[in-house]
Structure formats: structure tokens, C-alpha cells
Amino acid sequence: MSVLDTFSLSGRTAVVTAGAGPLFGSSISEALAEAGARVVTASRSLARNREFAASLAERTGADVHGMQLDIGDAGSVERFHREAMERFGRVDVLVNSALVRDATAGGFETQGVDAWQRSAAGDMVGLYAICKAFIGSMVAAGGGSIINISSIYGVVGNDPSLYENTEMVQPPSYNFVKAGMINFTRYVANYYGKQGVRANCISPGGYYTGQAGPFVERYNKRVPMGRMMDNDDLKGAVVFLASDASAYVTGHNLMVDGGFTTI
């Protein structure tokens, strides 16, 4: 087998939470489909997932399915796991990219305790519930790969100067959840590695979505590579960690941030 063959995901089934999303999710789903996997996208909107799945299947020729999942509802997670196993028999790759975070929660001065609890508890409970559900199935099948999407703000603190003279704020619950995700990944890696389950994180940098000009300018000056992330920057990292190319990699947090955290 050549080294390029180890990146193939042919014959494997990959679940991507928020896999039809406009940020990382759609790029992740596209990358896995292009690598040959059967892809299952899952989030609250069944219609949106089915529409995206049909479009991705047409573009890539891959086997793509859209399903419904509310990551903030433990009952929904269990139903999704049961339905996925009934339909596909096994799941080899689980990518957790969904967030419950309330984007209007505000910064430290304005985010209330209730909003903090909804955001942090929802994200942590959802991550725990879906990992717990699928790890058992992966162990029974002989192994699998879990990839959790964290953030640079799970590793370093925010730089307030980037947000000056904009209406942008970063809810403190986001940092809390993303940092916890990284160490939870290490926990899973340590406990289930001998049973064939690998667990890794990816911590992306800032993703360009048309943010305010002053923010983009400051961010680009700060990051060594001189730009924000785009749609293709996460794809190679995801395929690497999902595939046999990373067969001896577990418990790792891969920074895909243009060097932001090296400064």
C-alpha cells in the first residue's frame, strides 16, 4: 500500500455533526466525501441536511445522507445513534463540529449566568453523549476515529485588541467549552486507544465570514500567514486524522491556525 492509499476512506462511514453548516461543517463533509467515505450530516434541520446531502452527492459522486440531531438534547443524540447504526451498520469516523452556543449571548460584561449555562452545558453534554454512544459501537466494530473541532480559543486567551471599534464580541463560555473539549479528547484517547478507538482534536484559527474590516485587517497582521482561514484549509487535516495515514496519532490537538498560537 502506498502512502497515498492510506488517506483513502473508501468503505468507511463518517458522521459529521453540523455537517451541512456554513462554516467548518460543510467543508469537513466535502473533504470526507472526496476521500471516499459515506458521509452522514446531522443537525436540527432535517430539510437542510437532506438538501445539502443531495447537493454534495451530486458534486462528488459520494454516498451522502442527511439526518436530524439536536446535540443539546441527550434523547435526540441517543435516537440519532440508534437510527444511524440501524441504517449503516457501523460508523468509523465521528466528527464533532456542532455547537449549541447562543451567538447573541454577549461578552463577559453582558453574558448572563443563564446564557452561560445553556451554552456550556449544552455543548459539553452533547459532546459527552454522542461520544459515549458511538464509542461503544466503535469498540464493538474493532475501532474508529473521533475528531473534535475545538478552536484557538481553547488554547490561548482572546486578544481584545482585535475586536476594537467593531460590534464583535466573544462569549466567555466559548473558551470554556473549547478548552474542555481538548482535554476530554485526551481522556477518550487514553481510555480507548487499546480498544482501537483514536480521538484527536483540531483547533482552527479565525474563519473568514465577512467580518468587520478593522477586525480582518488586525487579524491578518497578527497571524504569521497573513490571512484568515478559508473553506479548504481544514479539509486535509480532517482526512488525515480520519484515515489510516494517522494510524499512530491519538490524543493530539492539531493547530490549523496559520501560526496564530505560535506568537
Name the residues annotated as catalytic.
174
**Which of helix, strand or coil describes residue 40?**
strand
- 21: which 3 cell numbers? 453548516
- 191: which 3 cell numbers? 481510555
Q: What number of residues does the chain have? A: 263
- One-letter amino acid at 82 equals R
Instruction: For residue 132, give the H/E element and its range.
Output: helix 113-141
3-state helix, strand, coil in the chain (%, to 5): 50, 15, 35
- Rounded CA-CA distance 10/7 in Å is 9
Question: Would you list the DSSP string of 69-110?
Answer: --TT-HHHHHHHHHHHHHHHS---EEEE------TTS-STTT
The answer to whether the beta carbons of residues 153 and 207 sit under 8 Å apart is no
